[in-house]
A and B are shown apart, each in its own frame.
Chain A
Amino acid sequence: NAGVTQTPKFQVLKTGQSMTLQCAQDMNHNSMYWYRQDPGMGLRLIYYSASEGTTDKGEVPNGYNVSRLNKREFSLRLESAAPSQTSVYFCASSEAPVQPQHFGDGTRLSIL
């Protein structure tokens, strides 16, 4: 009963390095989301995909790109990591944007 699976769970990068965070869901959900969570800031939406084939910017998209590879998978890419991107990243999915979301365990990313 996997739900939403994120990889990796932890990562340390150097400034300027690139990496891709992976997310996959097995609930046949149409919508997927990427959030970041920083202390005192709550969850902030980076990008979302309302349905397969579409992606849209959220509240804090700068420095990130996304790919909705298929209905199951939604990846988040940092092209040139910056210390300000140190955060906990959560992927989530839902049947539709107005339905409850199911979250992955999160990726804890540190950029030095």
Chain B
Amino acid sequence: RKEVEQDPGPFNVPEGATVAFNCTYSNSASQSFFWYRQDCRKEPKLLMSVYSSGNEDGRFTAQLNRASQYISLLIRDSKLSDSATYLCVLSSSGGSYIPTFGRGTSLIVHP
């Protein structure tokens, strides 16, 4: 099993829809979790950190489920500008804390 797995999509949704992505991980010692957004041929940009208690930033909600070892990202009221690839990232304990990226989930929001 890969260390971090994401459904590559694409998720094709109309404007105004609610869409959710999951990211599963295999290392139970993982400590830090983040969601990044990457536009085509651009650098990844931090969207939000993921906390154990869950966190919300406007239309975006991130949650962590340690028991089932996954994080989720919920986008409400999708906008055309939300079209991008969403990457989950985690850092694990064990001395090095090397960050590990998922391959990303592609979201296409259409009119």
Contact = CB atoms under 8 A, between A and B. Distances in A.
Interface of A: 33, 35, 40-45, 48, 50, 56, 58, 88, 90, 96-106
Contacts of A48: 98
Nearest to A88: B41
A100 B49 contact: yes
A106 B46 contact: no
Q: Decide if the interface of chain B is mainly helix, strand, loop or mixed.
A: strand
A88 B97 CA distance: 24
Nearest to A90: B43
A43 B45 CA distance: 13
A98 B43 contact: no
Given A42-B104, A43-B87, A100 B46 contact: yes
Interface in B53-111: 87, 89, 91, 96-104
A42 B49 CA distance: 19
22 contacts: A35-B101, A42-B87, A43-B44, A43-B101, A45-B98, A45-B99, A45-B100, A90-B43, A90-B44, A97-B96, A97-B97, A98-B32, A98-B91, A99-B32, A100-B49, A101-B44, A101-B89, A101-B99, A103-B43, A103-B44, A103-B45, A104-B43
B58 to A, nearest CB: 18
B36 to A, nearest CB: 8
Contacts of B25: none
